[in-house]
Amino acid sequence: MTKTAVDAKKRRKKKGPENGVHHIGKARKELLQELAGEHGTPIFVIDHEKIRENYREFKSHLPSVQVYFAVKANSNPEIVRTLFEMGSSFDVASMPEFMIVHENIRHMPRKERQDWIWDKIIYANTIKPIETLEALDKYKPLVTFDNAEEIKKIRDHAPHAGLVLRIRVPNTGSMVELSSKFGAHPGEAVDLIMSAFDSCLEVEGLSFHVGSQCTNFENYVTALQLSSDIISEVETRTGRKIRLLDIGGGFPVKYHPEVKDFKILAKKLNTEIKRLFPKDMEIIAEPGRFLVANTCTLVAKVVGKAVRDGKTCYYINDGVYHTYSGQVFDHVNYPVLAFKEGERKISAVFGPTCDAFDTVTLSAELPELSIGDLVYSENIGAYSHASSTYFNGFPPAKVVHINK
């Protein structure tokens, strides 16, 4: 993996829209072309200062909410390290993700590391293999669950874990809905928590997820009210306190101007949390996209060119099996842009693999390009490079870091 440190004061342009579309200026374009010349293409450029800005923005609007970065959004170890240094905790959903975080805190003394993992990592995949539970048990981690079978597995293979029940909540208006696969029906929640208590397990909290890139903020309002009702009923029926609430992710990025600002959502969240929950309720969140989406840029090269049915078609050395995978799995469109100036026309852009599915776009607005010219895509940091494959023998884009 290649790492390039660049002086932030010299390289950074003026700050763009709040956690939104961050179009690059002339200096950044020159930097990207310089990096492509140095490292070849495709390259995936990660701006660590922008990650820090996003973290500070989240905390400025939700100061009482602890950040648990959703590692699956971009599992690059250097990103984990930057966020760890900022004070972030982590949401992991697999043992490889857990080990990425673990490797970045190895410098801690063993006891301190153990306490940190116990307090700062949540294993938020509701379905866990037995081998995973056995490996996690010694860390006494927080783990989520949403069904009776998972309670049995945790009881038998990770009895020292702290449990968090994930409930199903509305995902209407979210770009990627999650409620069809995860979450207990709210009507079953109290019984599941009591079943866990009966199995001598410790239920520490409740969690929900309103869906990825949520633009319908009422989803959060409904989810918070459901959570409050469930917690109140559990405490009334059992006398045991629930003092952790995980409000999940879904915090929107301004991929386009119509997306409402995060600060509007944050104000609504702060109001509802204050209204519904006691002051000693620990509130955590799992932002992924919000922290990394607009921090990364892909630079690729035109490796082929053809005219088909009157439309110019460009073939580049990255595609939907690689960094542009987010167009398939995450339902995000990443415009392909050119460094070269000139009159633009509608063109097609294809990836490098021997598969017609590997189509980046049929409607890119590009000037006339030649083989060897560079193109780039912005705001491509979430659910993109993390899903890259080696399909057809093409490796993922090389990672380059700036402003570390």
Residues recognised as catalytic:
354
- Alpha-carbon torsion 145, 151, 153, 158, what sign? positive
Backbone dihedral region for residue 53 (phi beyond 0: left; psi -120 to 50: alpha; all else: beta): alpha
Tracing tokens 């029906």 back to the chain, one arrives at 185
Residue 357 φ/ψ, nearest 5 degrees: -65, -25
Name the pairing type of β-strands 296-308 and 311-316.
antiparallel
Residue with tokens 């509305």: 170
Q: Name the CA dihedral angle for 225, 230, 236, 242, rounded to a multiple of 10 degrees.
A: -100
42 prior amide bond cis, ω within 30: yes
Strand partners, 47: 402
Nearest partner of 324 among 383, 392, 400, 390, judged by Cα: 383
H/E stretch holding 311 reads strand 311-316
Rounded CA-CA distance 250/170 in Å is 12
Pairing assessment for the beta strands 345-350 and 359-366 based on DSSP bridges = antiparallel
129: tokens are 């293999």
Cα(380)–Cα(45) distance, rounded to whole angstroms? 10
288, 289, 295, 300 alpha-carbon torsion, rounded to 10°: 120
Quick one: DSSP state of residue 354? S
Q: What angle do CA 290, 176, 73 make, to 5 degrees?
A: 40
**In this structure, which amino acid lies at residue 371?**
I
Among residues 120, 113, 126, the alpha carbon closest in space to that of 141 is found at 120
SS (H, E, C) 181-237: CCCECHHHHHHHHHHHHHCCCEEEEEECCCCEEECCCHHHHHHHHHHHHHHHHHHHH
